[in-house]
Amino acid sequence: MNNKPYKRVLLKLSGEALMGSDNFGINRTTLSYITTEIVKVFNLGIEIAIVIGGGNIFRGVAPGAQGMDRATADYMGMMATIMNALALQDALKCIGINARVQSALNIDQVVEPYIRPKALRYLEEGKIVIFAAGTGNPFFTTDTAAALRGAEMGVEIVLKATKVDGIYNSDPKKDPLAVLYSSISFDEVMLRRIEVMDATAFALCRDQKLPIKVFSIYKTDAFRRVVNGENEGTLVHI
């Protein structure tokens, strides 16, 4: 396991991470907490790219999406990620952090389009880059977008922020004897069909030799410990 601080990372945040205790939408207290955790890492001089999901907003209209064409529903979900990205950008701006949102869908009046060289330049300039709208294609999750953008940005690791503190051998909510893995291989994760990320994302990271760390974003200082190479969460590796 890496025991030195990473220099460039990609943080994968689910939309649900912004909900807090609410049923859907953005909980301002939770958003403030998450930005505080991000700033702790940013202040270490680490370059941060972020991919964010949209399940918290799309969940609010989920009953209306039942029976909808899958591609149409996926495009609606992509637009939800743009709303989350703008909210996160604004929250970071309020505490003096310069962040840029790039979208895989073109909405020029609201956000700039995804342009790889520009995103790389933003990172090198010390700006946080938030990638919205997934890959821009239906049928691909924001987990896959995180793997793709991570590879394109040349990050050292993809950090999957969840509500649990890593990958267990069974559901820790149901099994009090569940054991937390400190590390596990891509092949074993895919063989066991562990669903912390989708199979396409795992396969892409495996092929690019891009490790994944799964940890709890709700655990104070966990993000900072992860990027410092400390023993936190579960490392998925070749």
pLDDT in tens, 155-206: 999 999 998 999 999 888 889 899 999 999 999 998 888 888 888 999 999 9
114: which DSSP letter?
P
Residues annotated in a binding site for ATP: 12-15, 55, 59, 162, 168, 171
* pTM, 2 dp: 0.94
Instruction: Say if CB 75 and CB 32 are below 8 A apart.
Output: no
Locate the domains of the chain by residue range.
8-237
Binding-site residue numbers for UMP are: 54, 74, 135-142
Domain covering 8-237: architecture? 3-Layer(aba) Sandwich (3.40)
> Cβ–Cβ contacts within 10 Å for residue 8, how many?
18
Nearest residue to 105 via CA among 61, 75, 150, 84: 75
List the binding residues: 12-15, 54-55, 59, 74, 135-142, 162, 168, 171
Q: What is the pLDDT of residues 193-212, one digit of tens each?
A: 888 888 899 999 999 999 99
| pLDDT given for residue 67 in this prediction | 79
**pLDDT at residue 193 in the model:** 85
- Of the candidates 128, 106, 52, the one whose C-alpha atom is nearest the C-alpha of residue 84 is 52
pLDDT of the residue at 63: 66
Evaluate if residue 83 carries a pLDDT over 80.
yes
Nearest to 55 by CA among 21, 78, 36, 22: 78
How many percent of the chain have pLDDT more than 70? 96
